[in-house]
Amino acid sequence: MEILAGKLRQKSKVMNSSGEEVGQVQQIQIEGQEVSEAQQGSKVAVSMKEPVVGRQIKENETLYSLPTSDEARMLVQRFYDLLTEEEKGVLNEIIQIRRKVQTLYAF
């Protein structure tokens, strides 16, 4: 998995490009070493219990972290100025995708 924007942390929930939750990150490894977080640009191995490649997620599919609705709202209302332009773009994309499944997400 390649981290295209932001950070990925252990225990983060993950959704697919349709806005459906597919699982939770159990472990992240970089070059065989376990890490608690991966930065943008990192290529990592990620283990998740729930999804099956080919069923819940597709090969080469873009996956997104899935903050709770309250967390996303707080990022927009209180911490938006602290995010980079790229992180703002991804947050807005996550909100738009998730609203297809949960209409009032981040309101």
pLDDT of residue 35: 95
Rounded to the nearest angstrom, the gap between the alpha carbon of residue 55 and the centroid of all alpha carbons in its chain is: 19
Average pLDDT of the chain, as a whole number: 92
Q: 106 in a domain, yes or no?
A: no
Section 81-94 average pLDDT: 94
Tens-place pLDDT, residues 61-70: 899 999 999 9
- pTM (predicted TM-score): 0.86
Q: Which of 1, 59, 47, 39 is nearest to 23 (CA)?
A: 47
Cα-flanking dihedrals φ and ψ of residue 64, to 5°?
Answer: -125, 145
Q: 65 in a domain, yes or no?
A: yes
Q: Which of 10, 98, 2, 16 is nearest to 48 (CA)?
A: 10
**Could you list the residue range(s) of the whole structural domain that residue 37 is in?**
7-98
Label residue 2 exposed, middle or buried (CB < 10 Å: 0-12, 13-18, 19+).
exposed
Q: 2 in a domain, yes or no?
A: no
CATH number at residue 36: 2.40.30.10
Domain count, the chain: 1
